[in-house]
């Protein structure tokens, strides 16, 4: 009887492994935000990419070919507009990224923006960093660019709000993409957090935050809260809506805040 149970367990395990391989799953485990799966997916963006799925939500993605340091998700590409604020030949030299995930944005900055001399990344969960190093090519940044040994890329296992409270570093840009599954990090949405972030920016610096929200209606509460908190310390606000033709649809909305007047291609200036 014991042997029969053992054989059945082995068969079940083998079937599970076959299922995972067929569906392109390369990692399954639990992280602080819940069940975490890394899988290679041909359904997203029409081609094979690797996706970090946390608590049922796609958090990050990477190409698996020579574009391993390129941005996959459109809203990640919207963060590129921060470079609109600097004239040709210039650019930000220091950027903080709040929320590591698959480290898509830090990878892109290291590989494609040599003018950025310092990139600090705050990720609260060490398990997520380990996954990113192993499955999302973060370690390749050292092999190809010497990113960490040179001090250009600094990865911190830390709560983003606490890290900002305990450090005095100022940046040309701060990018916030902190989520626990579908839920944003609410400690970064308050008026106090907005003031704290503002103090960490250089004079013409930018704060960019990803907000998953509708533009109007019942699903727009988090966007309204974000804009309300930013209006105090920041003079100018801009929006890049993910679904501009459907204001009631929840989507990624990138909000940019600054105390300097800038021009951002295609952005909606928020004056309300």
Helix/strand/coil (H/E/C) assignment for every residue in 81-135: HHHHHCCCCCCCCEEEEECCCCCHHHHHHHHHCCCCCEEEEEECCHHHHHHHHHH
What is the DSSP track for 221-266? HHHHHHHHHHHTT-SEEEEEES-TT-TTS-EEEEEEEESS----TT
- Write out pLDDT tens, residues 151-198: 999 999 999 999 999 999 999 999 999 987 677 899 999 999 999 999
pLDDT on residue 14? 34
Phi, psi angles (nearest 5°) of residue 199: -65, -20
- Which residues have a Cβ under 8 Å from the Cβ of 248 and sit 6 or more positions away? 214, 215, 216, 217, 219
- Write out pLDDT tens, residues 4-28: 544 433 333 333 333 344 459 999 9
Structure tokens at 169: 């570093």
Band the pLDDT of 127: cuts 50, 70, 90. Answer: very high
Beta bridge partners of 35: 30
Give the Cα separation of 82 and 175 in Å (integer). Answer: 9
What angle (nearest 5°) sits at the alpha carbon of residue 189, between those of residues 79 and 252? 40
- Which residues have a Cβ under 8 Å from the Cβ of 163 and sit 6 or more positions away? 122, 156
- Which residues have a Cβ under 8 Å from the Cβ of 182 and sit 6 or more positions away? 55, 56, 57, 212
Band the pLDDT of 1: cuts 50, 70, 90. Answer: low
pLDDT on residue 15? 34
pLDDT on residue 143? 97
Query: Is pLDDT at 134 greater than 70 in this prediction?
Result: yes
Alpha-helical regions (H) of 52-125: 74-78, 104-112
Structure tokens at 154: 């600094």
- The whole-model pTM stands at 0.90
With contact defined as beta carbons under 8 Å apart, do 198 and 170 qualify? no
Structural domains present in the chain: 2-63 (no CATH), 74-270 (3.40.50.150)
- Write out pLDDT tens, residues 188-232: 999 999 999 999 999 999 999 999 999 999 999 999 999 999 999
Query: Is pLDDT at 2 greater than 70 in this prediction?
Result: no
Q: 94-98 and 171-176 as β-strands: parallel, antiparallel, unpaired?
A: parallel
Residue 91 DSSP class: -
- Write out pLDDT tens, residues 27-76: 999 999 899 999 998 776 678 899 999 999 999 999 999 999 999 999 99
pLDDT on residue 97? 98
């Amino acid at each position: 009887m014991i042997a029969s149970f053992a054989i059945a367990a082995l068969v079940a395990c083998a079937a599970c492994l076959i299922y995972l391989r067929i569906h392109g799953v390369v990692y399954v485990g639990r992280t602080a935000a819940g069940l975490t799966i890394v899988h290679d997916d041909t359904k997203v963006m029409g081609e094979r990419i690797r996706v970090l799925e946390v608590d049922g939500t796609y958090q990050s993605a990477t190409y698996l070919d020579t574009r391993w340091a390129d941005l996959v998700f459109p809203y990640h590409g919207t963060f590129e507009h921060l470079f609109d604020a600097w004239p040709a030949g210039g650019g930000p030299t220091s950027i903080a990224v709040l929320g590591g995930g698959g480290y898509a944005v830090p990878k892109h900055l290291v590989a494609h923006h040599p003018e950025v001399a310092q990139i600090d990344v705050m990720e609260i969960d060490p398990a997520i960093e380990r996954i990113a190093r192993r499955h999302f090519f973060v370690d390749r940044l050292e092999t190809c660019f010497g990113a960490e040994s040179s001090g250009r890329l600094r990865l911190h296992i830390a709560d983003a709000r606490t890290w900002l409270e305990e450090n005095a570093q100022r940046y040309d840009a701060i990018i916030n993409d902190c989520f626990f599954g579908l839920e944003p990090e609410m400690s970064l949405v308050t008026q106090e957090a907005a003031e704290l972030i503002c103090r960490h920016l250089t004079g013409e610096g930018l704060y960019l935050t990803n907000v998953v929200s509708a533009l109007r209606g019942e699903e727009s509460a988090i966007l309204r809260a974000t804009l309300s908190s930013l209006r105090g310390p920041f003079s100018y606000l801009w929006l890049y809506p993910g679904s501009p033709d459907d204001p009631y649809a929840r989507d990624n909305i990138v909000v940019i805040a600054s105390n300097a007047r800038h021009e951002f291609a295609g952005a909606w200036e928020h004056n309300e």
